[in-house]
Amino acid sequence: MSTADRAITLRAMPRWYLTLFTSDALERFGFYGLQAILVLYAAAPASRGGLGLPVTDAATLFGAWIGFMFMLSIAGGWLGDRVLGNRRALLAGCVAGMAGYLCLAVPAGWGAAVGLPLVAVGGAVYKPNHQAMINLMFGGSRGREAGISLMYVATQVSALAAPLLVGYLGERVSWSLAFGVAALVMLTTAVQIKVSAAQFGDVGQRPVRPLTAGERTSAVRRTGLAAGLLAAVVLGLGLAGMLSVSLAIGLVGVFSVIVPIVCYVVVYRNPGLEAHHRRRLRAFLFVFLGSTLFWMIIAHAASLLNLFARDHVDRHVFGMEIPASWLQAATPLFILLLAPLIAVGLPALAGRYHVPVKLAIGLVLVGGGFLIMSLTTVFAASGEKVSPLWLVIVYLTHACGEVIVAAVIISAAAEVLPPGFMGRTLGLMWLFAGLGGGLGSGVVRLAEVVPEPLYYLGLGGVATACGLAFALGRRALVNGLTAGPRTEQAEVDTQAVREGSR
């Protein structure tokens, strides 16, 4: 019986799955640790080792950073598909991430300026290729979605531990020590992947569609031109005294909108795709956009909700005031508890309409969470600190939505285009998630001029309405996602009949 036909459980893991399970837990430790403390580190005064940014810039920094990382994911997927192979791309991502955390550990402004982009590059290379390896090792679709859902057990163990350890070290001991621990974990991840290479056989060892000599030359030339142009722009802005955090955040926001559109069009027009593949990709665009809204709301947990926890939540527990970053552990704790149950029941939910229905459920959940948050800010407006249970309830809705939406999108993305495009399809998925981060970095600024209750009410209402739209349009979306050569030929025949009848 093949791996694709076996149920994946904690008690019955193939060795390759255990390796990917563990490596993802280790790699995500740094990501979730940074997520828990980035806004707090950015807002902390320079005298305490922070960046000393204004609160608004600190809140938008996380959205811009995650948008930048996801924006690079299409390049990370392409790197695995065409240049390195998915497995070597995993190692490259680990090395870049480790270097980034080491730079962040340097107590100087340049360390953050270099370290944050490096960590983003590492995540952008690692994540789509890790997901590609999972899908390639499963081979078939059966068991894939449950396996991906269970993989959330690994990531959420890290997401639970990272805020507690990294958050405590950063807020109470030293930001540099917190980032140093993340770098050490990334080194461990790289070593684990390297020593376990034999478990994967030939899968991911080489690129599925390696570059031809002409394509390689063209890629090197274009990369060099892009790097040179970027360096010239940065140098020019620096000499003109125009470089600032606000400008960088704004540029990331603009590019996070432009790049997904351009990359989607490039993939859509690829000559290696047939007509029915393009129809599937057109239908999947709605899934991409739904995920954009979903991740834009989720990203608030590390920005505005984190600052709300710092300033407006009573964090005294048993006579001790816990760090604000510790509340970031609520979402992964819930996911850790729910993921095994959802992994069992998720594949049977909604039958052939499972993609739009599950996306609808996720959007309604996070939308409902923000409606609750709107009410919470009303209570906090009086100046009294509110119970942490309000935020815990919001994080519960995030957890339920995330474990459903992430698993179904990753699994569905693997079937949209042929295997040679898997890395780029998953890269597109994270690219549109990055669009959510980029848009979120701009939307967060509305909190300065819009009353907080109205801010959360508006976002919650939009997410809920979009979720209901996915549920109502489930039939049309599924028809588009399951288009095949016969479907395309039937459309051609129908059109010919119509023209003949005229």
Domains of the chain (ranges, CATH numbers): 8-204+250-483 (1.20.1250.20)
Predicted local distance difference test score (pLDDT) of residue 58: 84
Look at strands 320-321 and 316-317 and give their pairing.
Answer: antiparallel
Query: Would you state the pLDDT for residue 11?
Result: 57
Contact assessment for residue 325 and residue 40, using Cβ atoms and an 8 Å cutoff = yes
Burial of 15 (0-12, 13-18, 19+ CB in 10 A): exposed
Of 435, 60, 315, nearest in space to 51 by CA = 60
CA-to-CA distance for 163 and 417, rounded, in angstroms? 37
Place of tokens 């679709």: 141
What local confidence, expressed as pLDDT, does residue 1 receive? 39
pLDDT of residue 63: 78
pLDDT string in tens for the chain (502-residue length): 344 444 555 556 678 888 888 899 899 899 989 988 999 999 888 888 888 888 888 888 887 888 788 778 778 888 888 888 889 999 999 999 999 999 999 887 778 888 999 999 999 899 888 888 887 887 655 556 667 667 766 677 888 899 999 999 999 999 999 999 999 999 999 999 999 888 888 887 888 778 888 887 888 888 788 778 877 877 787 677 666 667 777 777 788 788 888 888 988 898 888 888 889 889 899 999 998 999 889 888 888 899 899 989 999 888 888 998 899 889 888 887 876 676 666 666 656 677 888 899 999 999 999 999 999 999 998 888 999 999 999 999 998 888 788 777 877 877 788 877 776 787 788 778 878 877 777 788 888 888 999 999 999 999 999 999 999 988 888 888 887 775 444 444 434 434 454 4
Which 3-state string (H, E, C) describes 193-253? HHHCHHHHCCCCCCCCCCCCHHHHHHHHHHHHHHHHHHHHHHHHHHHCCCCCHHHHHHHHH
State how far the Cα of 384 lies from the Cα of 428, in Å rounded to an integer. 44
What is the pLDDT, as a whole number, of residue 89? 92
**pLDDT for residue 345:** 67
Written as six digits, the tokens of 401 are 């939505």
- Closest C-alpha to 117, from 52, 196, 61, 177: 61
Going by the DSSP 8-state scheme, the letter that residue 7 receives in this structure is: P
Note if the pTM is more than 0.85: no
Q: What is the pLDDT, as a whole number, of residue 119?
A: 94
